[in-house]
Amino acid sequence: MPKCGACGKFLSKADSIRCNCSAAFHKACVGIPETSSVKGAWVCPGCKIKKPREDNTSTPVKGLTDTYQSTPNSSNNSADNTTEELKVDLVLEIR
């Protein structure tokens, strides 16, 4: 029986989610509502940190990754973080 990579407790099939690196987590532990089913490939926080550029999903991950934050409204995803930060600064100054 797999254990959650976030909290270390055992997983039940119903509320677990698995990355293709074979790491498994509780949906709750990675910020996914238990009622929502994730279609397609889900990437665990560890894999997101390793290769953020290959990840186009907009799945929010709470707590585990601060380095990668999805921007739902941006059409050009994850190409350059610096531009994104500059945009944020501009928005703040405009306000």
47 forms part of the interface with Zn ion (CB under 5 A): yes
Nearer to Zn ion, 21 or 88 (CB): 21
Rule CB under 5 A: say whether 19 interacts with Zn ion.
Answer: yes
Binding segment for Zn ion among 18-26, 33-41, 52-60, 76-84 (CB under 5 A)? 18-26
What distance in Å separates the CA atoms of residue 4 and residue 41, rounded to the nearest whole number?
Answer: 18
Is residue 68 helix, strand or coil? coil
Number of residues that bind Zn ion (CB under 5 A): 10
CA-based nearest residue to 56, from 38, 37, 77: 77
